[in-house]
Amino acid sequence: MVEGTKLGGQTVSCEFLGIVPMSQRRTLKLLHVLGTAWLVFCLGCILVLVLRQAGLDWWVIFSLSGYSAVFIFFLLSLYLFAIFRGAGKSQQIEVEHPLTSSFYYAGFYVLTPILGGIAAFLGMIGADSITQYVLGVSLGTLGMTFLGWVVVDPALGMLEMFLPASRKHRTERLAQLRKIRQEHQQQQKDLLAKVLEQEQREKVQWQQALETYAEKLSALLASDTPDWQEAENEAVGMGVNAWKLGGLSCMRELRDMTLARCQDRPQDAAVADYLSSWWDGIGSWRYSVPS
């Protein structure tokens, strides 16, 4: 369902807008805007009359109405934005809601505030004062809107769900959705398995290709040569080759293989890890790579 406004703590739905033809949908949107504007106007009248009955002067009411008008305009804009943006995304199924998805019911729904105002207007004929008349029409609009949007519409929607055709279609639809969801989950699992398998194959290929590099680098780290610049240049060259072969992951694999060889030889177990600093700047390798 496309959510509408909040009234009496309940959500007023606008789901019919998403299931009627485009030409009729435009008409319903316009009528819905008019009905909502009339409802807001009636709420404003009730607020003003209540404040007057409380003894507030007009200048106080007008001062408050300025801020209230901005706030109401903001809420109304958000409400209309939700209608026009979400009208095409309705999840209501016509087969499951044969009454509330019809165009005639939709027309009655959006005209509920105006129909309530008309009924209250006719019922208030002969009122003693204009104030009483305006208050009666406003309260009639509010009451009719609350009854139609908050009580009748959700109740009809619930009753429609108990119809045999609605229940059957809903059961089939939910079963189809579960099937689609399960297929999607299985596809994700298969994709993840393929990725892991590819990574494992690449790791095996790297280990075979980097075997010679790891042996040379472990010898460089364990050597006691005075020319460390030459050793660094040779290590950088092997690091660049590893980067070209498989990026940062391949470089990490080569470093781990090198250090593992040093650990396997007791005399080289305490060698320093110069590779982290020598390879700084190669591709995305940074000296902060954890050892």
pLDDT of residue 76: 59
Q: How far apart are CA 277 and CA 41, in angstroms?
A: 72
In a domain, 189, yes or no: no
In a domain, 187, yes or no: no
To 10 degrees, what angle do helices 22-53 and 130-145 make? 130
Task: Kindly report the number of other CB atoms within 10 A of residue 123's CB atom.
Answer: 12
In a domain, 223, yes or no: yes
In a domain, 194, yes or no: no
pLDDT of residue 74: 53
Query: Shortest CA distance to 108 belongs to which of 82, 83, 145?
Result: 145
- Alpha-carbon dihedral sign for residues 153, 156, 161, 166: negative
| DSSP designation for 283 | T
pLDDT of residue 216: 86
Structural domains in the chain (count): 2
pLDDT of residue 21: 59
pLDDT of residue 181: 93
Query: Shortest CA distance to 142 belongs to which of 211, 73, 31, 45?
Result: 45
Residues 133, 240: one domain?
Answer: no
Residues 149, 257: one domain?
Answer: no
| Domain termination residue (choose one: 105, 138, 162) | 162
pLDDT of residue 267: 62
User: Which residues, at least 6 apart from 165, have a Cβ–Cβ distance to it below 8 Å?
Assistant: 95, 96, 98
In a domain, 268, yes or no: yes
Residues 19, 142: one domain?
Answer: yes
pLDDT of residue 192: 92
pLDDT of residue 187: 94
Q: Does residue 2 contact residue 15 with C-beta atoms inside 8 Å? A: yes
pLDDT of residue 128: 78
Tokens of 4: 């509408």
In a domain, 39, yes or no: yes
The ranges of the chain with pLDDT < 50 are: 1-18, 81-82, 84-91, 289-291
Residues 126, 31: one domain?
Answer: yes
Residue entry with tokens 């699992």 = 189
| Domain termination residue (choose one: 143, 162, 181) | 162
To 5 degrees, how large is the angle CA 72–CA 74–CA 80?
A: 100
- Whole domain around residue 90: which residue ranges? 3-162
Residues 119, 257: one domain?
Answer: no
Residues 146, 234: one domain?
Answer: no
pLDDT of residue 60: 52
In a domain, 289, yes or no: no
